[in-house]
Structure 1
């Protein structure tokens, strides 16, 4: 899963792919400290908000909050995207690091090891933290709720973490207490503070191969296939052009298609929606030498997952989402929440030859009603689900453009 840098929301991730790579050489020793329970408890449970497949949890920062953070296995140190939550920041006296990732150019962040984070009754002092001067990800605009940062490795490495997607609940336990594991055990490897897993994937004209994936709870897609044998991943026969994101220097183009067969552990999936980003572009932004792709939350959420970073494995067990079909956006456009004026829904980028383009919609159009109901009754998450609900449906949008109001009928289309 991009910023308020002098350009509009057409420049955000199309699929909320968040692949943050941070220069970490001076963080290494700091990770010897973990989250600890403040009392004698050994296990706790918290509920999370699920928005576009992503996990949003409340965190107290320096005893203030709670603030909503994205729980993201794809990040190492904690990242604060809203620096106003921290008092007395003096950027001039803070060490700078480089933040890079798919969809953004290299930008500066600032290092702090004087941040205390608390999740329920578990606290960690001196959390290695990267603080951004501006929200590069614009997660708040995409998710329709204020997001203050991302947290990953420091939490997962401190506990046995049981993510129950079907219940919107996380149970985290001290590693030294007995744990009842359920489901299928799958090895993982932790590299650069992130978890990787091997799975089998069907490659056009080559059959099934074993591929290495970053497990990324901070990516809302199912799969992103990025590299095969040191080059681009072969495209499926049926595909559509798609704008998968944009960097400060231009769009990241690619394709959407379906992977015929994908299996992890004992579990097999068919016709999995996958992105195929332009290898020539992303290979300059993300180190692809040690992975084939990215395994995101649209697939991960079909399991309840127990993470054990310390011993290098997960347990997965299918939940109520397991048999849901994989579908994509049947409208072909991005809708985001304007950060300047809350509850103002604007249209961002529009796919070529999509139902949205065919209906005459344009970037920067404002949606003020859906199916003759005011837009205020919808959340961004509800709109996202509506846009991929059924290819036999039509949706009526009330649009505001150039001081005029009009209606457009969009016929949902299953394009792949």
Structure 2
């Protein structure tokens, strides 16, 4: 009788799915950053910001909590660390020292969290899900991704002038709290300073007197897959110093979708989250 009950249980929960995933809870700050509570080397309790554009981990010089048990070499690198998050233990994690991070975080941790497996960023339930088997993709749409130098790139259509679509590739950047941040080349080529509605700007100068101007603007429409976002917050740089070489798809836009990344990092599946129509984050 016991054997029959056991078999019924296995089939009812779907033999291949009962142990097909692990869950990592997180919280989202008011700046749209994802924070994960960790225990490093069984000694240091650290709040680390999830950075999708890196694989390893790092410690901030502005951290609020001690990280005395992460030992760095002369190159500010620490190898073979363990990171515990709830019941999950990650081994052989590399930490870099003195990297700035987001608000409320002692450092950063990247996609090493997922060990090369398929994973989900579930903004509806504030959790990551790591899959051992193929996840349920019902209701999700696929988007081709390019994975290079620890970063994910996706293509999106920018409606800048009338109904003309301008395709651009964006780096998914969970460390940037805002919406879009355009590269210098894209901003200049598309004349964003003239064609977008400017909502604010700041001018900074370095010790040589060279200036950098950051401008905040509104993009009328952004199309990501089959989803269209309206009046999107977008930033770009003008002036003497312009160092933005890639376009960013920031945390304010990331939170508007739930994301499932496949194990080979060639496709991501997206579905609008509960934040899809929320007001846009304002860059101060």
Q: Which residue number in structure 2 is paired with residue 122 of structure 1?
A: 88
Distance (whole Å) between structure 1 residues aligned to residue 100 and residue 141 of structure 2: 37
Change (3 A) 1:155 1:272: same
Are 1:87 and 2:66 an aligned pair? Answer: no
Aligned to 1:270: 230
Aligned to 1:21: none
**Cα deviations by residue, 1:214-272 (Å, 9 ceiling, x for unpaired):** 01122211111124469465223421442388989887422111111110111111211
Contact 1:227–1:233, Cα closer than 8 Å, also in 2: no
Tell me the C-alpha RMSD between the 2 structures: 3.0
Q: 1:136 to 1:180 in 2, by over 3 A?
A: closer
Distance 1:232 1:118, change over 3 A: farther
In 2 relative to 1, CA 84–310 (structure 1 residues): closer, same or farther, beyond 3 Å? same
What residue is the counterpart of 1:301 in the other structure?
255
User: Residues 279 and 74 of structure 1: is their aligned pair in 2 closer, same or farther, counting only changes over 3 Å?
Assistant: farther
Distance 1:87 1:247, change over 3 A: farther
Alpha carbons of 1:171 and 1:136: their partners in 2 closer, same or farther (altered >3 Å)?
Answer: closer
Paired residue for 2:40? 61
Change (3 A) 1:217 1:247: farther
- Provide the TM-score with structure 1 as the length reference: 0.56
Does the CA contact (< 8 Å) of 2:212 and 2:240 recur in 1?
Answer: no
- Contact in 2 for aligned 1:194/1:214 (Cα 8 Å): yes
Residue 312 of structure 1: how far off its partner (Å): 1.2
Change (3 A) 1:158 1:321: same
Other-structure match for 1:322: 276
- Judge conservation of contact 2:196–2:219 (CA < 8 Å) in 1: no
Q: Deviations over 1:97-126 (max 9, x none)?
A: xxxxxxxxxxxxx11213222233333322
When residues 242 and 309 of structure 1 are mapped into structure 2, their CA distance, relative to the original with a 3 A threshold, is farther
Indicate the SS of the match to 1:75. coil
Count residues with an aligned counterpart.
259
Q: Is the counterpart of residue 239 in structure 1 residue 198 in structure 2?
A: yes
Give me the TM-score of the superposition, normalised by structure 2: 0.79
SS in 1 for 2:93: coil
Alpha-carbon deviations, 1:340-373, whole Å to 9, x = none?
Answer: xxxxxxxxxxxxxxxxxxxxxxxxxxxxxxxxxx
1:181 paired with 2:140, answer no
Q: Describe the shift of the 1:239–1:213 C-alpha distance in structure 2 as closer, same or farther (beyond 3 A).
A: same
Contact 1:216 1:297 in 2 (8 A): yes
Pick closer, same or farther for the CA change 1:320–1:125 going to 2, 3 Å: closer
Residue in structure 1 matched with residue 15 of structure 2 by the alignment: none
Higher strand share: 2
Rate the CA distance shift 1:158–1:72 in 2: closer, same or farther, 3 A: same
Taking the aligned partners of 1:246 and 1:117, their CA distance within structure 2 comes to 40
Secondary structure of 1:56's counterpart equals strand
The answer on 1:170 being equivalent to 2:128 is yes
Gaps of 5+ in 1: 1-39, 97-109, 335-416
Cα distance in structure 1, aligned partners of 2:135 and 2:203: 40
**Is the counterpart of residue 77 in structure 1 residue 56 in structure 2?**
yes
Q: Flag structure 2 segments of 5+ consecutive residues without an equivalent.
A: 1-17
- Superposition pairs for residues 20-169 of structure 1, below 5 Å? 42-51=20-29, 52-81=31-60, 82=63, 84-87=66-69, 89=71, 94-96=73-75, 110-132=76-98, 136-137=100-101, 139=102, 143=103, 145=104, 147-156=105-114, 158-169=116-127
SS in 1 for 2:154: strand
Q: Is the 8 A contact 1:204 1:234 kept in 2?
A: no
Task: Look up the match of 1:407.
Answer: none
Match of 1:347 in 2: none
Change beyond 3 A, Cα 1:220–1:41: same
